Amino acid sequence: MWRYILKRIGFIVIALFFVSLITFILIKSAPGNYIETERLITQNLTDVNVPPDVKEAWEKMYHLDKPEWQQFLIFLGNAVKFQFGPSFKYPTKTVENIIVETYPVSLTLAGLAMLLAIVIGIPLGILSAFYKDTLIDRIAIFLSMIGTSIPNYVMAVFLIYILALTLHLVPSIGWGQPVNYVLPVLSLAIGPIGSITRFMRSSLIETLNQEYIKVARAKGGGFIQVVIQHGVRNSLIPLMTVIGPQLAYLSVGTLFVENLFNIPGLGKFYSSAAVYRDYPMVMGTTLFFAGIVMFVNLLVDIVYGLLDPRIRKLDMNRS
Amino acid sequence: MGEFTIPVNKNIDSGGKPPSAEHSDKTTRRSYFGVLWRRFKRNKISLISLYFIVFLIALAIVGPLILPFDYKTMDYTALYQKPSLKHWMGTDDGGRDMLTLIIYGLRNALIVGFGAGLVEILIGVTIGALAGYFGGRLDNILMRFVDIMFALPSFLLSLMLVVVLGRNLFTILLAIGLTSWAGMARLARAQVLSIKQVDYIEAARSLGASNSVIIFRYVLPNAVGPIFVSLSFNIPGAMMVESGLSLIGLGIMPPMPSWGALINIGSRFILSTPHLILYPAITFALTILAFTFVGDGLRDAFDAKQSD
């Protein structure tokens, strides 16, 4: 078990190294340079010549005066300590400060969405498996299909239109009150709800066909006893395989919803950093997001292994 | 039942060529694709979705030629108009015709979707097939590379690539294709691994067929099913990335419209003129759903467990 975890962590470190190398190379080969384009955009100047002393001081602050391989090493050395230096756009703030300030917002969105998806998805899946091939089942399947295929930012549009503009249940814009969380969280949750429902349904149908369920039924077990205690319990562990990727996706996927609803989360800052070519911010956040996605995947695999001893023996010894 | 399926399978083995004359009793006259089509047709939603996609493709090709408006010209005498006979879907904040913008958005989404899908297949299938067919050390090296690509968050990488390469249709298509082929490579490898065990591959090799002949004539044609199914889900996936990039301001350069950009602009006027955001969102949702339903239908059609 420990060997497996260490091996996976080693793989994550290698992958993160590649992420930083790729982003670094990409950024260095990108045309244009921040200080000149910024001057063009913000001051409406036609002349891109920044005074040499300003440019020199600026380059010194971001270590841009050193050779590129040295810049990369400096970046790597600092990244290990979770330091990414000051941002281009907000020179008084460091990238790690921005991440620490804004990521909780994204995390709350993703966490609430996942929670909602589990709370709605599991019962819906059970219902649909129990009433297999009836109208309830068909509707549930159709809805989950729509939920899984339509991207969350398009879902958000429909939710705003129905819940805010037609039914006037929640405000469509604004941020700060708890009620403002309703629309973003709902639009993020619909995809995972669909996946969980579909998985729960098919897994439960398979479990309910097992011999021991028939035995439990023959012994006179009721709905709760048979379906919930024997059936659902055995379907919950493999459900981790669905929740894991969804969680990893959500931790980056809030980006669109944050942009659409103008929520000051890390996704919003990340995308505007990419638009403005705020390279320290882009590099730091890309690495952070990549780390989160891979760490969540690892966590899910470990939990899965802890819950199901068969997997622990099989998978972990092999790899 | 076994009797009947054997000739059909032989037909698959020869890479989709019609069965030879001596096998043509009444059940084997159908070609491989005929069988697939018969199975596919059974699912009515998938069939309707396929017709809808064909209609969309036709619209994307013909639309720009016959539309009376273009996507660039602003008309400040007709801002924020509600749908009318002249402007079927109203006009946007620059007085541009929404229908025109949506059709251009459709065209761009289709180009990026199919283009990125093609790039994914070219890279993924090549790497997967090489790894699966030759095995050994080459397999090991290639698949570790695939593992790393698979672990990297592909959306972040395509976003970076777009920042570097620039923001036109081709670079976006490339940025999406280059970062999301890892799943395809794994799929192709698994397919090739299982197919190369089959006896007729052994037979072909003992008859002196070269590696390239075996790969292209015998292995890949048989692996085509799952790859096509996967493609039909990757195309809408690429469209979502394209629109997502536009939504956050990193998609195709304006004034060229994209559904994501239309949704982004529309969100600013959602209180006053909701049709600006609703129409692109509805078209987008319907397109994505159509591709998903076709994918489902294809998966069932390729499923060998089904009777013909």
**Integer Cα distance of B288 and A147 in angstroms:** 11
Torsions phi, psi of A190, nearest 5?
Answer: -60, -40
Tokens of A61: 């602050």
What was the pLDDT predicted at B127? 93
Of residues A103, A194, A91, the one with CA closest to residue A140: A194
CA distances from A190 to A138, A199, B95 (A): 17, 14, 34
The enclosing H or E element of B13 equals helix B2-13
What was the pLDDT predicted at B13? 46
**Integer Cα distance of B168 and B258 in angstroms:** 11
**Integer Cα distance of A256 and A249 in angstroms:** 12
**Which CATH superfamily does the domain covering B39-62+91-301 fall into?**
MetI-like (1.10.3720.10)
Interchain pair B263, A149: CB under 8 A: no
What was the pLDDT predicted at A45? 57
| Mean pLDDT calculated for residue range A192-210 | 87
CATH topology of domain A101-318: MetI-like fold (1.10.3720)
What was the pLDDT predicted at A226? 76
Domain residue extents for chain B: 39-62+91-301
Kindly report, residue by residue over A73-119, the tens digit of the pLDDT: 888 888 888 888 888 877 788 888 888 888 888 888 999 999 999 99
What was the pLDDT predicted at A273? 85
Higher pLDDT pick, A271 / A225? A271
Interchain pair A260, B267: CB under 8 A: yes
* This prediction's pTM: 0.82
> What is the radius of gyration, based on Cα positions, of chain B?
23
The enclosing H or E element of A150 equals none
- Check whether A46 has a pLDDT greater than 70: no
* Other Cβ atoms within 10 Å of B124 Cβ, number: 27
What was the pLDDT predicted at B123? 94
Interchain pair B270, A165: CB under 8 A: yes
Average pLDDT of adjacent 10-residue blocks, chain B of 308 residues: 42 47 52 81 89 93 82 75 77 79 91 94 92 87 84 82 86 92 90 85 86 84 85 90 89 86 84 83 92 88 66
**Integer Cα distance of B120 and B146 in angstroms:** 13
Give the closest-approach CA distance of B218 to chain A in angstroms: 32
Q: Is B33 exposed, middle or buried (0-12, 13-18, 19+ CB in 10 A)?
A: exposed
Tokens of A104: 């909780």
**Integer Cα distance of A36 and A21 in angstroms:** 25
Q: Amino acid letter at A70?
A: Q
Domain residue extents for chain A: 101-318
Residues 6+ away with beta carbon under 8 Å from B283: B102, B105, B106, B259
Give the closest-approach CA distance of A85 to chain B in angstroms: 19
Q: Which residues of B lie inside 8 Å of A (Cβ-Cβ)?
A: 147-148, 151-153, 155-157, 159-161, 163-164, 166, 236, 240, 243-244, 247-250, 260, 263-264, 266-267, 270-271, 274, 277-278, 281, 284-285, 288-289, 292
